[in-house]
Structures are given as C-alpha cells and as structure tokens.
Amino acid sequence: MKFLFLFIALLECGFVSADSQQPNKQVYITEDINRFWQAADSLQTTRTHADSLNIIQTVYLDRMSRGGRVFIKMKGYTAAEYLRTINRYPKYLAQLRRKTQYISQYQTKLDSVFGTLQSIIPGYKTPRVCFAIGCFRGGGTARKNLILLGTEIALADSTMDFSEFKGNLRDNLKHGINMPNLVAHESIHCQQHHNRNSTLLSLALHEGTANFLTTLIFGRAELGVDLNYAAAHECELWQEFKTAADGTDISQWFYNTGTIKNRPPDLGYFIGARICEAYYNRQPDKAKAIATLLDHRKQSEVFEQSGYTGNCKS
C-alpha cells in the first residue's frame, strides 16, 4: 500500500512516465562464476599446497572480469583465503554450484527491480551487476555504477545445508538472502552522491537510506537486520548509538558479523533506517524527500529534521 501511494504521488509530480518504467540496457557480468568452478575442479589434481594456491590464482583470480577484479580488490580476497573456503565448506559449495547454473532466472527478477526503481527515483541510473564468488565476507557492495555480488551469500536460502557454518554467519545464511532485495539496496547506493564523512552517523544514514527506500518501495523486511531484536531494544540501542554518533568507531554497529558478542550484528542499519523513515514521514514533498536522502551533503538536515527519538517512552 505504501508503494501505491508513493507511486501515485510521484506520478502527480511528473516523475513517472511510461518510458521510464523500463530499465536501461542492463549488463550482467557472470563469467567469473564459471571460472571459480573451473579452479575448484582443478584442485582435485594438485599435490601440494603451493600448487593449489597457484591454480586459484591463475585459473580464477588472474582471469577475472574487470568487475570481478574490483570485487577482489575491495574485499582483499587472496588465493589462500579461497583455498580455505573451498576446503571448509564443500557441502554448501556443491549446493551453490547447482544454483548458479540457473543464474539467468535471477536476472529476470532483477530486471523487474530496476524497472520499478527507475519509475520511482528521479534520475535513476540502472547499474551493472557483477556476479562473483567470494569468501563469505559480504553478499553485496557497490562502487559508482557497479554492483558487486558475493554470489555465495546472495544465493543463500533456507533449503541449503549450513552444517559447516557457525555463529552469526550460520544464522544469517540460514535465514536466507532475498537477492532482489539485496540488489535493490546496493542499487540505491549507486544513486547516492557527494562524499559522506567518516562518522558513525554518516555511515548509518548512508546504509539506512538504502534499507529504508528498499523497504518503502518493495515492502520487504530491512536487509541484514534482526528486526525482532532491534524493535524490542530500539530505545536502548538509540541511547547507545547517539553517544557514539559523532565518532568514527563503527565496530559495534556495522560489518561485525564475526566479531559482535551478546547481540545481533549490523544494528546500525536499523537505526539509520529509522532516522530516514522519521525524516521521510515528516516531509510533505515525498519526491524531494527521496532526493534529499540520496544527497550525502544533506545528512545533517535529514538527522535534525527527522525528530527521531528512538521510540523511547519518556
């Protein structure tokens, strides 16, 4: 219902046209997936650790697409880490291999996602999407107009065997990843412009904008967050967050799946999305509100005008 109201509002403002409801010509980069499986198969003939590392380096890493090389550089993946991953998760990777054979079916779904976003977000530019296989350190990231997917996470669903995993990583994978949701989130990052600063608050608004707009437009649960826990502890999370908001330590809030103790990881996404939601709800011009959320220069304006108080009772 929220999507319907938003769509009508943007139509009345002149932001939606018949031509804009189709995505731009989309480029999906998938060849790195086959190169990974070629490397994995070639390991069966190696006799030494050095030989195995050389296979991964020469068959997979050295032959990656331009987008794949960006993925490797951003993540800092090495041949040694890939070898450990292949040896540690053989059951899961066998299931993943079968799923990657049908990657074109996911592309059809993503075309629909891009078409919807193009009809809602003024000036939306459809990004390219690179499917690669990483070492379970992130399902997706974006750089300029390129989405980089860690397909080993992006294709996870609840039917797969997670017996080889432990802790938060196991819980997150077992919950399943909604790839269209993930790609929508990263695609919104591609629309954000101007540099953000290095504070926790700036990162929260950067990620929160992508989570909020994805949820607003598609009506899906926020990405990568235990919403039950977050909603039940919203006030105390806010009290903790606001004391650290102007600092640069993000360790308790972001990218901490393998390190956080005693609570779910990545709760900064939740707080950021709540601030963005509060701001959006108070703005009469919704199209302008979306444009403001996407402009990093206006993060102080978003925070100050949101009126967000953590849903605290007093």
pTM: 0.86
pLDDT of residue 175: 82
Cα distance from N-terminal residue to C-terminal residue, the chain: 31
Residue 83: the pLDDT is 98
pLDDT of residue 26: 61
| Residue 30 contacts residue 133 (beta carbons within 8 Å) | no
How high is the pLDDT of residue 44?
Answer: 94
Residue 285 CB-half CA count within 13 A: 9
What is the C-alpha to C-alpha distance for residues 144 and 186, in angstroms, rounded to an integer? 10
As given in the structure block, the two tokens for residue 57 are 């380096």
Whole-angstrom distance, CA of residue 207 vs CA of residue 202: 9
In a structure prediction context, what are the per-residue pLDDT tens digits for the chain, which is 314 residues long? 444 344 434 433 334 433 344 444 568 999 999 999 999 999 999 999 999 999 999 999 999 999 999 999 999 999 999 999 999 999 999 999 999 999 998 999 999 999 999 999 989 999 999 999 999 998 999 999 999 999 999 999 989 999 999 988 898 898 888 899 999 999 999 999 999 999 999 999 999 999 999 999 998 766 768 889 999 999 999 999 999 999 999 999 998 887 888 899 999 999 999 999 999 999 999 999 999 999 999 999 999 999 999 999 86
CA distances to 34, 178, 188, 218, 276 from 184, rounded to whole Å, are 25, 10, 6, 9, 17
CA-based diameter of the chain, in Å?
67
Q: Are strands 28-29 and 128-132 parallel, antiparallel or unpaired?
A: parallel
Sign of the CA dihedral with 93 first, then 98, 99, and 101 last: positive
pLDDT of residue 4: 38
